[in-house]
């Protein structure tokens, strides 16, 4: 199933030009000082049918969801249009490592 999803997602890669993003920027983003934002990153977890194979179950089990899941990185423009540029599917266990990698260098880390 994951190979099938990867094939489908490969055809959907889109990235809006910055001029289009800025021309359709919601007023709430402009008013709050976020007019320079061009995209919003979001991890989405989708439930899977439980596999009969033990290894597949172990690789996709999410203790947070108490279910077998797969995680996708979605990139969304401020106007809500999906910019899909990261078709790689990840196992749920990479959540913490991935969250750390997405932190902006301008935001100070909490100690």
**pLDDT tens for each residue of 7-66:** 766 666 567 888 888 888 999 989 999 888 888 888 778 888 888 888 888 888 888 788
Beta bridge partners of 26: none
The pLDDT tens digits for 86-101 are: 555 555 554 444 444 4
Could you read off the pLDDT of 63-86 as tens digits, one per residue?
878 888 888 777 888 888 777 655
**67 phi/psi in degrees, rounded to 5:** -160, 170
In angstroms, the CA 73 to CA 88 distance is: 8
At 31 the pLDDT is 92
């Amino acid at each position: 199933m994951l190979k099938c999803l990867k094939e489908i997602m490969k055809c959907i890669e889109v990235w809006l030009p910055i001029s289009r993003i800025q021309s359709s920027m919601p007023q709430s983003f402009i008013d709050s000082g976020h007019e320079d934002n061009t995209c919003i990153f979001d991890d989405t977890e989708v439930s899977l049918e439980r596999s009969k194979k033990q290894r597949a179950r172990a690789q996709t089990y999410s203790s947070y969801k108490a279910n077998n899941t797969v995680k996708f990185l979605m990139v969304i423009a401020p106007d809500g249009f999906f910019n899909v540029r990261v078709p790689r599917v990840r196992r749920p266990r990479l959540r913490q490592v991935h969250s750390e990698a997405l932190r902006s260098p301008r935001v100070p880390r909490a100690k």
